[in-house]
Amino acid sequence: MSRLSARLLHIASFLVIGSGAIWAYLRYVHDLGPEPEDPVLAMEWSGIHPWEPALRNLHLVAAPLLVFAVGLIWSGHVAPRLLRPWARRATGLGLALLFGPMVLTGVLLQVAESEASRTLWAWAHGLSSLVWAGAYLAHQLRPKGRRVAVEQDPASRESSAASGVSSSR
């Protein structure tokens, strides 16, 4: 993976994760208080935080950038490791498997028409995004030498035995 691709991926991930987390907090956790009793203030009171529209827009603009960045690194970084179990990390496998559901539920959330389907897709998107963001953070912080505990590639086992290198951990 090139430095440019990695930087694009990290920036897009930061924007999507950050805007989504803050937007979700403001929408579902932050309490704006009761509607004002003063009729003049009540006309201006919308019940949503003033930052919500900007965060939503940032999230919706940054998400395609993240999809593009993942597509950019897919053939050179992700796909080869999916086919070689000894060369992948568990966090990377989790990222690859969760990316599709996270994107799909985000799209379905945007096109949902009924309140019930919107609630379903919001929960599905929130949960898949939370797990994906945790896996992304773990993937970045985990030491690079640790791999999924799978039997080593037979070809590399033979070459390391021939060179006198032990394959035990």
In a domain, 82, yes or no: no
The C-alpha angle with vertex 163 and arms to 159 and 169, in degrees rounded to 5, equals 80
Q: How many structural domains does the chain have?
A: 2
Q: What is the pLDDT of residues 89-99, one digit of tens each?
A: 676 777 888 88
In a domain, 38, yes or no: yes
Distance CA 159, CA 165 (A): 9
* 121, 108 contact by CB (below 8 A): yes
Distance CA 87, CA 85 (A): 5
Q: What is the pTM of this model?
A: 0.69
The C-alpha angle with vertex 56 and arms to 54 and 61, in degrees rounded to 5, equals 95
* 92, 150 contact by CB (below 8 A): no
Within this chain, do residues 46 and 107 fall inside the same structural domain, yes or no?
no
Within this chain, do residues 7 and 53 fall inside the same structural domain, yes or no?
yes
- pLDDT band for 37, please (50, 70, 90 cuts): low
Distance CA 25, CA 19 (A): 10
Query: Among the three residues 39, 73, 107, which one is the final residue of a domain in this structure?
Result: 73
Query: Among the three residues 23, 38, 73, which one is the final residue of a domain in this structure?
Result: 73
Within this chain, do residues 50 and 108 fall inside the same structural domain, yes or no?
no
In a domain, 168, yes or no: no
Within this chain, do residues 64 and 2 fall inside the same structural domain, yes or no?
yes
* 47, 32 contact by CB (below 8 A): yes
Identity of the amino acid at 88: R
Within this chain, do residues 64 and 94 fall inside the same structural domain, yes or no?
no
Domain of residue 7, residue span: 1-73
Query: Among the three residues 40, 73, 106, which one is the final residue of a domain in this structure?
Result: 73
Q: What is the pLDDT of residues 97-131, one digit of tens each?
A: 888 899 999 999 999 999 999 999 999 999 999 99
Q: What is the pLDDT of residues 65-78, one digit of tens each?
A: 999 988 887 777 76
Q: Which residues of 16-51 are buried (b: 16+ CB within 10 A; e: fewer)?
A: bbebbebbbebeeeeeeeeeeeeeeeeeeeeeebee
Torsion of CA 133, 136, 137, 140, to 10 degrees: -170
Within this chain, do residues 9 and 68 fall inside the same structural domain, yes or no?
yes
Q: How far is CA 162 from the centre of its chain?
A: 42
In a domain, 84, yes or no: no
In a domain, 5, yes or no: yes
